[in-house]
Amino acid sequence: MNAHNFGKVAVLMGGASAEREISLLSGSGVLQALRSKGVDAHAFDPAERELSALKTEGFARCFIALHGRFGEDGTIQGALELMGIPYTGSGVMASSLAMDKTMTKRLWAAEGLPTPRYCTLGPDQHDDIGLQQLIASLGLPLIVKPPHEGSSIGISKVTQADQMAAAVALGAQYEPELLCEEFIVGEEVTCPVIGIGADARTLPVVRIQAPDGAYDYQNKYFTDAVSYLCPSGLPAAEEAEIARIVLAAFRSLGCRGWGRADVMIRASDRKPFLLEMNTSPGMTGHSLVPMSARAAGTSYEDLCLQILALATLDSSPRHRSTP
């Protein structure tokens, strides 16, 4: 893999989402890794520069290290499609679908893939009656989350009915319609995918052990309180089933390049449930895709190079193949 063949590369980082801080950490890591491999890579923050500069300054491809809105939701992908600049990760439609956790769950349910039971809570349902009806439908505990945010932003676990109003108020700071989900009691794991179409493959499963089950924004990125097990230590059959449903989930959304699915394993029967698909996963020092890749024998630098090599466009036939 000749680094010079990639041409001038923009590492898109920062952006205007609530995950800007994490994106800057991810992008800085990717930028350093690509440069260490001889790639002509440059930092590019869409919140501070006009996107048209990517075209006028001769960038040949983009590594998207943006997270959340305006970076992971199909918007930046659409702009790059119009400019004809290949980019890493999923295309416009797949990025938009995966960013919308409610639409993701609807599609997975239609495909027969396991995902926790859920309800949506519109802005006209935030009163006591609406919240009581929701609890009666899903039971407790449950999860309340804004469906278009990532990195555990705006998420609450509700264990008692009197916590519901505060959870809804927190989520509503980010968007009016919320996703409320049955809480699966068990172990949390994550499983990355890399590749395009029939060539897509999973990387080793990572098992997450957070203090008191609090795998929140702070613990994800800024503490060392969380334990990560990779190899996961799960029975081979369990890991194989997780890999199977994650790959099916990735393909069902039309994802390509790379991604990472979060999964809960129900303690009562060890059944895995898909939570969400991340199409632009974190690449920080605490991030899980690099950890999984290392367990498979791939360094952070080589992982970045592999992802960059898969950069393409929706309009290119390269990514089209039968799942």
What integer is the mean pLDDT of 160-181?
A: 94
Q: Is 130 a catalytic residue?
A: no
Query: Across residues 111-134, what is the average pLDDT?
Result: 92
- How much is the average pLDDT of 50-64? 98
Sheet strands side by side (includes 40-44): 40-44, 8-12, 61-64
Collect all residues with Cβ–Cβ distance below 8 Å to 27 and sequence separation of at least 6. Answer: 11, 12, 13, 14, 43, 65, 66, 283
The pLDDT assigned to 321 comes to: 37
Which of these is catalytic: 276, 280, 287, 301? 276
- Catalytic site includes residue 251: no
Confidence (pLDDT) at 323: 32
Catalytic option among 241, 262, 301, 314: 262
Q: What is the pLDDT of residue 226?
A: 83
320 is catalytic: no
- Find the catalytic residue in 154, 241, 282, 287: 282
Give the per-residue pLDDT at 221. Answer: 45
Q: Active site residue: 15, 19, 72, 256, which one?
A: 19
Are the CB atoms for 13 and 27 separated by under 8 Å? Answer: yes
Concerning whether 241 is annotated as a catalytic residue, the answer is: no
Q: How many CA atoms lie within 13 A of 310 on its CB side?
A: 24
What percent of the chain has a predicted confidence (pLDDT) above 90? Answer: 82
- 8 A C-beta contact, residue 143 and residue 171: no
Q: What is the pLDDT of residues 295-313, one digit of tens each?
A: 999 999 999 999 999 999 9
pLDDT at 275: 96
The residue annotated as part of the active site, out of 90, 156, 232, 278, is 278
CATH architecture of the domain with range 97-114+185-315? 2-Layer Sandwich (3.30)
Q: Is the domain defined by 118-182 classed in CATH 3.30.1490.20?
A: yes
Length of the chain measured in residues: 323
Task: Please state the domain extents for the chain.
Answer: 3-89, 97-114+185-315, 118-182
Q: Say whether 2 is catalytic.
A: no
Residue-level pLDDT at 127: 85
So what's the pLDDT on residue 322? 34
Is 73 a known active-site residue?
no
pLDDT at 183: 94
CB 250 within 8 A of CB 228: no
Same CATH topology for 3-89 and 118-182: the answer is no
Active site residue 262: yes
Q: Which of 150, 252, 260, 280 is catalytic?
A: 260
Mean pLDDT, the chain, whole residue set: 92
For 25, residues 6+ apart whose C-beta sits below 8 A from its C-beta are 221, 282, 284, 285
Q: Among the options 90, 221, 232, 257, which is catalytic?
A: 221
Mind listing the pLDDT tens digit for each residue in 59-110? Answer: 999 999 999 889 999 999 999 999 999 999 999 999 999 999 999 999 999 9
Report the pLDDT value the prediction gives residue 152, as an integer from 0 to 100: 77
CATH hierarchy code of domain 3-89:
3.40.50.20
CA 6 to chain centre: 25
pLDDT on residue 125: 86
C-alpha 250/C-alpha 261 separation (Å) is 8
